[in-house]
A and B are shown apart, each in its own frame.
Chain A
Amino acid sequence: MIGFISYAVFFSTVASILAIAVLGLNLQWGFTGLFNGGVVAFFGAGAYGTLILGGTPQADHLGGFGLIYPLALAGGAAVAGLLAWVVGILTLRLRQDYLAIATFGIAVTFENVMRNAEALSGGAKGFRGFERPLRDLFGDGFGYNLAFFCFVLALLVGVFLFLERLVRSPFGRLLRAIREDEDAARSLGKSPARVRLVSFVTGSVIIGLAGGLYATFYAFISPQDVLPTLTFQIWAMLIVGGAGNNRGAVFGAFLIWGGWTSSGWALSRFAPVEAQLYTGSIQYILIGSIIVTMLLWRPQGLLPERLVISQAGQPRKPRTTGSMT
């Protein structure tokens, strides 16, 4: 029983961390229509940033600033935001698919740099030497995990409430207006590029926060944690849950993470030994199929965005589909 509860806490902690990242992506994609193809770069920036800022002194690479934990975590999120700001400035005024390509590129580059720049990140061995906060108080066992879960959960709720508020505010309406009809928003005297940048950076800060929590939880981060596949997983969570709906984002995170871990468990347990090597491949095929199936079958996700009527009595102007069908 205690084993089960302990596993449930472990599972829920990781799922909640991922849910925070999915919420950040939802702000970008669901509410603003920005395609972030490199979620993992911002997640990784938060993770490395937090460990470098809050870690113990390191012999062979950067780190050991020993900042108190909240500052380290916030610093990590800020690093992610800074990265997003640079990418955003360069790409947000261009064709939408440039953002997709540039963010994808930054994720590849981020992983590549973390793997090679040993002086910065510890290289392929990863980054250790991080004291988990309040370890003296909670010890190393189940108690610590439970306390940390509560901390993550509190942050998840906080981010959730913040975003719910944000999207109902005038700024949130502006985001959707730009998503639906950029020209109309421009004609109202709003600068779509600036609003997009704010949304993109805010979303990335949230994704970076998730990365910082992830690194704290494992007290370790390595290039293996920031492979592009994590981007797919987070995207799948959002698409399955329902882009544009914060509840959907959280629901999708738990659902997909549950499916991911249980498929991994089932494969390791029931698949023949020769096939074990291919567990990852099978899981990725599953997740790719889920993405494609959702887009074909239910592109609005399981919990679709509730339509917000933007002007009294007027239905939202549907996007005209291209003539290329």
Chain B
Amino acid sequence: MGDAVLRAEGVVAGYVPDLPILKAVDLAVRRASVTVIIGPNGAGKSTLIKTIAGLVPLSSGRIIHDGADISRIRPDRLAAQGIAYVPQMDNIFRTLTIRQNLDLALRRAGAEAAGRLEDLYARFPPLADKRNEKAGALSGGQRQFLAVAMALAARPSLILMDEPSAGLSPKAAQEVLECARGLTEQGVTILLVEQNVKQALRLADHCYILAEGRNQLDGSAADLLSDPVVGEIYLGARRKGAA
């Protein structure tokens, strides 16, 4: 993968000194692709995403984005450099209105802000309808769309998403994932964590499996989807077979 837009090399990181959650993680993400990270609970998937977003300090290794080392760069600077991050929970400001959430996300857009705001409303009509309501009042799916809209506001080249479909109805989950897929056609790169393994693998290009802070396996999504071992562990194939 020569044209990887994002690379993690030997990343060791954690929340407190001397207690690494990520023990050795390598990753390469191709431009304009969807890459999915799966793994058991507590594997460190969220931690990896947060580390890339600049929220968790590395104790060794590095993260390269567009050829530059971004391992020590503050999150707000990374956001300005076109790396957007959609957290798993609490990913919108409940006490602000939808409009205010979006205005905040568009703060650096200058003269383009008004146009982009209209684009976002056009893309997510429910948000336009409720623009003056407090974001805390939105339903789960709408919240997730607002979070994605905020991420898109800065016209990022790379979007990191942590379980964007968690807690959503199957329909809403599918919509969110398809929305992510659609973005790659505009050249945006997507790295996402998913619990909905089957759904995610169908739509992803590449997949990493993480456990206990280390890489376990990686390959093209199609290969993994048909891999019997992966199928057994992550897709419940055996249970289905036994039934």
Contacts and interface: CB of A to CB of B under 8 A. Distances in A.
Interface of A: 318, 320, 323
Contacts, number: 5
Interface in B16-35: 16, 19
Contacts of B172: none
A75 to B, nearest CB: 48
Nearest to A321: B16
Nearest to B16: A318
Nearest to B19: A318
B55 A320 contact: no
Contacts of A320: 15-16
B15 A323 contact: no
A320 B15 CA distance: 7
Interface of B: 15-16, 19, 55
- The 5 A-B pairs with the shortest beta carbon distances in the complex, nearest first, are A318-B16, A320-B15, A320-B16, A323-B55, A318-B19
Nearest to B17: A318
A293 B15 CA distance: 27
Contacts of B19: 318
A323 B19 CA distance: 17
Contacts of A318: 16, 19
A317 to B, nearest CB: 9
A323 B90 CA distance: 15
A103 B230 CA distance: 59
B143 to A, nearest CB: 22
A196 to B, nearest CB: 26
5 contacts: A318-B16, A318-B19, A320-B15, A320-B16, A323-B55
Contacts of B55: 323
A318 B19 CA distance: 10
Contacts of B15: 320
A115 B86 CA distance: 58
B50 to A, nearest CB: 11
A323 B16 CA distance: 12
A287 to B, nearest CB: 33
A323 B53 CA distance: 14
A66 to B, nearest CB: 59
A320 to B, nearest CB: 6
A318 B17 CA distance: 9
A323 B57 CA distance: 11
Contacts of B16: 318, 320
A323 B87 CA distance: 15
